[in-house]
Amino acid sequence: MAVLAADPYYPTIIPILLLLVFTVVISGWLVVAVAKGGASGPADTAVAYEHAWDRLDFSTLWSLSGPNLRDGRTRDQFVRDKLAAYHGEGRGLSALVRSVRPEQVDVNGPVARVLARLELHTGESVVDEMLLERIGPAWHVTAYHISSGDPRGRIERAN
């Protein structure tokens, strides 16, 4: 009578268990990585907001803005209104920022205040203030105060 363990066509239990453990570990790691990867902090959102303003990327600004900064406008309406407001002035108000870094971040539960330091290509440095709120899994800018030295403040109050 033949012994099944000696038969080369029947694997032992050890490779099956190793494969099962490997699959469970990789699945767990993937779940954790996806959960952490989707959540950015208020500082990340503030930096992204400043970069979007520097590119005059109004679609991204709409996405990063809270409902009160959107003034009830759809993305298309918001973009259209911003393009109209910055028509003719946009070239002189974009690509001004060399770098953005959060200078101070204060988080109190679902709200945060971020001071962002903008280093301009001219060598000047300005600090803008943002208030953010966690809405669902993401942080959104709910108020934005442009520094008096920020050249973008010449057109309209940013919102």
Q: From the centroid of its chain, how far is CA 2? A: 64
d(CA 158, CA 125): 18
Closest by alpha carbon to 97, among 43, 48, 131? 48
Q: Which two tokens stand for residue 36?
A: 């952490």
The mean of the pLDDT values for the chain is 84
Q: Number of helices (H) and strands (E) in the chain: give both, helices first.
A: 6, 4
Over residues 46-78, the pLDDT tens digits come to 999 999 999 999 999 999 999 999 999 999 999
pTM: 0.71
Distances (CA, A) of 10 to 4, 14, 16, 19, 158: 7, 12, 11, 15, 70
